[in-house]
Amino acid sequence: MYTSFESIKSAIQNGTSSVDIVNYFLQKIEANKHLNAFLEVFEESAIAKATAVDEKIKSGKAGRLAGMLIGIKDNMAYKDHKVSASSKILEGFESIYTATAIQRLLDEDAIIIGRLNCDEFAMGSSNENSAFGNVLNPINEKMVPGGSSGGSATAVAAGLCTASLGSDTGGSIRQPASFTGTIGYKPTYGTVSRYGLLAYASSFDQIGPFTTNIEDAALLTDVMSGKDEFDSTVAQVENHNISVKSIEGKTLKIAYIKDCLTNEGLDAEIKSKLESVINQLKEKGHQVEAIEFPYLNEMVPTYYVLTTAEASSNLSRYTGVHFGKLAENVQGVEDTYKKSRSQGFGEEVKRRIMLGTFVLSHGYYDAYYTKGQKVRRVIQDKTNAILNDFDAILLPTTPTTAFEIDGVKDPIAMYLQDIFTVQANLAGNPAISLPMGQHSNGLPFGIQLIGKHFEESNLLSISNYMFKNLN
């Protein structure tokens, strides 16, 4: 119920009010609070917004998203509401402004229902790194929902909101989408303003939606996109005009990376499904070709060298003095910084800050950071060269289905969960995870498409065709 914007519009046309819809979701969130998806429900502001939206509907002045219920990842600023990046270091902090992406949703009369749990500062692939406990996978509560946007994925999969926002630095939208059977879309870097997104790695982070259908993903991305005076890295395009178009009658040209299908970590059933999709595309007259991409094993190390370096810089502001909670019983500046950061940050965040600080340190900068930037350019150039000849690249989203809570203890093994998703972030391309099957273990999994820079409509149109015709 109310799992798509179309269903909400239909209900409103038939006399249901936005306030009724909000109350429905509030009850459902309460009934499913054990999933730990929501860190806070914005009941008061959501009902106030819904009341205002109902008045605008009556007067015929409602926006494009009137009545749509959206949850936001807990690393996005929303004025007069708390934001913590699921970290103790920002305990009690309340934002004094609203992120551009969220403001644009509000301007079109979307209703923000609450903030969603995530890995601390978006660092993780399982949502086990939150200072406020694990999020459970609603498909099987013994399993992780994926990360870092695990709360966002679970909220949509469990029907606790119509759509949600996540952030994707190396797969943090697409991987949990795969684990929960939802659609997760990462736009081209620079499509959506990062103003108001608490930074992890600034040259990688991108805001995107979780939905149950492609049309809603396109609509939300279109509303959020466009130039922003507060973000110099966003594309200087007034309107991207993102929409889903029919591709019936067109012949697609799809590439798939051979090394992904032969990767020893890829689950046999996911591989079989990917091969089935390739064969179905061929049977429908589309051109599907295997291609070489010899940098698969270099991508995860490159990603972690560069993102931890950026994280070390970005998180240096959380000292207990400039930003962040001040530790008790501190004496002097050095003691203040040490205790505030040691007590405020979790283990994974501290691990990545230390790794990034090492990467940037004297004597190692050229060996690691500079070399990582060079490898990133090689990966980007190769990806662009492939997409000059093809409409999209097809590959798995994740090597496996969701794993058990506490099932992956080795940090390196956890980092390798990102092996198929980091390419799009290193190269800056748009990418999407589509739910494409159910494993014999009862869990869903997705397949992934990577598209050309700023050709969001084309990628989403291809995705819609595949989602509706190849399941």
Q: Catalytic positions, please? A: 73, 148, 172
**Cβ pair 104, 369 in contact under 8 A:** no
Write a three-state SS string for 146-182.
CCCCHHHHHHHHCCCCCEEEEEECCCCCHHHHHHHCC
| Cα separation, 43 vs 204, whole angstroms | 33
How far, in Å, are 21, 25, 219 from residue 8 at the CA level?
A: 8, 12, 14
Report yes or no: 118 and 127 within 8 Å, Cβ to Cβ.
yes
Q: What is the 3-state secondary structure (H, E, C) of 352-417?
A: HHHHHHHHCCCCCHHHHHHHHHHHHHHHHHHHHHHHHHCCEEEEECCCCCCCECCCCCCHHHHHHH
One-letter amino acid at 275 equals E
Phi, psi of 142 (to 5 degrees): -85, -10
The residue count for the chain: 471
Rg (CA), the chain: 21
- Beta strand pairing call for 392-396 and 444-450: antiparallel
Distance CA 178, CA 434 (A): 7
Nearest-angstrom CA–CA distance, 121 and 116: 13
Q: Which among 365, 349, 362, 359 is positioned nearest to 316, based on CA atoms? A: 349
Q: Which two tokens stand for residue 435?
A: 């739910």
Instruction: Beginning with the edge strand found earlier in the chain, give each strand of the sheet holding 163-168 in spatial order.
Output: 38-41, 111-116, 69-73, 163-168, 206-211, 183-186, 431-438, 444-450, 392-396, 253-257, 287-291
Residue written as token pair 């930074």: 199
